[in-house]
RNA sequence: GUGGAUGUAGCUCAGUUGGUUAGAGCACCUGGUUGUGGCCCAGGAGGCCGAGAGUUCAAAUCUCUUCAUCCACCCCA
């Protein structure tokens, strides 16, 4: 009976780490250029935090959270709630009126796993707290858009506005009336949705439902003046930054706190998991969680999905040299000598590999080749006696002599780049 | 939670109407070069055929149960 990882939990093996580093490094670089600061948050929070922010009746809160019932704590299913909690708890709004924050880390949702969907998954969340400006919406969306462009990923941007507590109820009524007429023609899921969350009927995947709601009232035409203004400015600002998008009146968001601007970056290469980045404005959330009456907007990106896309959409990366030098000592005396030399070379900043199994030279050469070492330093009895080793360049096959001192080896290896 | 598919070597997969000792490719190890990598050649190691029960003289193969994984629904990043 082998012990395996839990269903929906995945090991990220060394071969995949390169892609993760690419995603993380490019992301943090871009975030910093857009003046975002990193914040690191706990994974465990009081259950109540998520119930109050995400919404009591959402699927996430109702049946997908990993909760320790007796302790009333939950493994976070998303980061925005925790981030806003920290923002309020530490009074960050006092120091700076507008806070731009990001965080990267694991989230947990107990759903049935499938392609691009895990029970533990990693999200990058970027949030701007304290600004209601539509320009911020465009700036944030523009940043995400630039990020995907930098990664050379093929994604599309969809945009919608969900209105605000002033105008959404009226739209909801209009939509309910519309749905009532079509009720008998809708799928079972939509019949259920029409009472629990009517907006969700709009983005049903069933073909017949899509037809039925094709001419449903558009929320974009039911916005109040303030929301309509905001939405127009977001679009104008995106145009100004030359960021392509399409309006999608059927796009709604799953979390209760979203108002006004919502957006998704979509791909067609991940099966049912089309969204690689999604977000929106949540102007009431901070106040709802006990903070000041300040607006906010943010997005979350699923990094596993991005890594999958990188693997699918990009050509194999060239093998980069991850090891500068392989020190091959063979024979008892040389092996003892190289053991010490290798340590010293590592302390002096080189990436050095060695064999400690007492293998022959040929086997050590194979190892060196396999890990992509740039150089091999060969030391047998002769070299140890003379104090001069053989340094082989693995690409050019060129061999030079080098004194067996840290300084001499360091100089020769650093002289040539990968 | 619902539906469908798949479980054979580290990986990708063959395996006939049930029939000796379960195979291939890649990867790994050793040798061909007693001190030199990639290519080539020779050899080697590696399997409770997901697990449990049943049918049978005989099960990787048929039946049942169970577990796991994948895909889709739901939901969502």
Report if CB A345 to strand B is under 7 Å: no
- The answer on A269 and A239 residing in a single domain is yes
Q: Are A121 and A304 in contact (CB under 8 A)?
A: yes
The rounded percent of chain A whose pLDDT value lies above 70 is: 97
- What's the domain count of chain A? 2
Cβ neighbours of A16 (radius 10 Å): 15
CA A30 to C1' B18, whole Å: 63
What SS3 class is residue A6? Answer: coil
Domain-located, residue A129: yes
Report if CB A370 to strand B is under 7 Å: yes
Report if CB A233 to strand B is under 7 Å: no
Domain-located, residue A37: yes
What SS3 class is residue A196? Answer: helix
CA nearest neighbour of A223 among A174, A282, A164, A273? A164
- The answer on A387 and A283 residing in a single domain is no
- The answer on A260 and A375 residing in a single domain is no
CA distance A67 to A358: 51
CA A114 to C1' B54, whole Å: 34
What SS3 class is residue A46? Answer: strand
Q: What is the mean pLDDT of residues A174-189?
A: 82
CA A138 to C1' B6, whole Å: 46
Domain final residue, candidates A280, A313, A346: A313
- The answer on A147 and A57 residing in a single domain is yes
Residues A327, A328, A334, A335: what is their CA dihedral angle, to the nearest 10 degrees?
Answer: 90
Q: What is the CATH number of the domain that holds A359?
A: 3.40.50.800
What confidence tens digit (pLDDT) does each residue in A152-162 have?
Answer: 998 999 999 99
CA nearest neighbour of A326 among A380, A366, A381, A384? A366
Task: Find which nucleotide's C1' atom is closest to A308's CA.
Answer: B77
Q: How confident is the model at residue A418 (pLDDT cuts 50, 70, 90)?
A: low
Q: Mean pLDDT score of chain A, rounded to an integer?
A: 90
What SS3 class is residue A212? Answer: helix
Chain A residues 170 to 209 whose Cβ lies within 7 Å of strand B are 189, 193, 200, 204-206
CA nearest neighbour of A321 among A412, A389, A416, A397? A416
**Residue A148 sits in which domain range?**
14-167+223-313
What confidence tens digit (pLDDT) does each residue in A254-279 have?
Answer: 778 899 999 999 998 888 888 999 99
């Amino acid at each position: 009976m082998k012990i395996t990882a839990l269903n929906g939990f995945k090991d990220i093996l060394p071969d995949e780490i390169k892609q993760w580093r690419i995603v993380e490094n490019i992301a943090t670089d871009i975030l910093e250029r857009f003046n975002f600061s990193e914040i690191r948050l706990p994974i465990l929070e009081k259950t109540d935090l998520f119930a109050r922010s995400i919404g009591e009746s959402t699927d996430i809160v109702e049946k997908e959270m990993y909760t320790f019932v007796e302790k009333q704590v939950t493994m976070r299913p998303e980061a925005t709630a925790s981030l806003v909690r920290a923002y309020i708890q530490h009074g960050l709004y006092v120091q700076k009126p507008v806070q731009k924050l990001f965080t990267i880390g694991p989230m947990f949702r107990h759903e049935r796993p499938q392609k691009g969907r895990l029970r533990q998954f990693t999200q990058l969340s970027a949030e701007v707290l304290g600004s209601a400006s539509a320009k911020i919406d465009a700036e944030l969306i523009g940043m995400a858009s630039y990020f995907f462009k930098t990664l050379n990923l093929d994604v599309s941007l969809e945009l919608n506005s969900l209105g605000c507590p002033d105008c959404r109820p009226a739209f909801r009524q209009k939509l309910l009336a519309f749905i009532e007429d079509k009720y008998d023609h809708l799928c079972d899921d939509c019949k259920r949705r029409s009472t629990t969350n009517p907006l969700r009927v709009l983005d049903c995947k069933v073909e017949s439902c899509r037809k039925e709601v094709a001419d449903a009232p558009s929320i974009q035409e039911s916005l109040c003046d303030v929301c309509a203004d905001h939405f127009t400015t977001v679009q104008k600002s995106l145009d100004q930054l030359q960021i392509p998008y399409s309006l999608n009146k059927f796009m709604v968001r799953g979390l209760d706190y979203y108002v006004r601007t919502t957006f998704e970056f979509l791909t067609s290469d991940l099966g049912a998991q089309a969204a690689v980045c999604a977000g929106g404005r949540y102007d009431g959330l901070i106040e709802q969680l006990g903070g000041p009456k300040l607006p906010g907007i943010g997005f979350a990106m699923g990094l596993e999905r991005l890594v999958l896309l990188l693997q699918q959409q990009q050509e194999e990366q060239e093998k980069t040299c991850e090891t500068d030098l392989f020190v091959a000592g063979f024979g008892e005396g040389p092996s003892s000598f190289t053991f010490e030399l290798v340590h010293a070379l590592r302390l002096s900043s080189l990436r050095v590999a060695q064999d400690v199994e007492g293998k022959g030279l040929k086997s050590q050469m194979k190892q060196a080749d396999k890990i992509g070492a740039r150089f091999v330093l060969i030391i047998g009895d002769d070299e140890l006696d003379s104090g001069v080793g053989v340094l082989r360049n693995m690409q050019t096959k060129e061999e030079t002599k080098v004194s067996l001192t840290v300084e001499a080896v360091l100089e020769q290896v650093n002289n040539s780049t990968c």
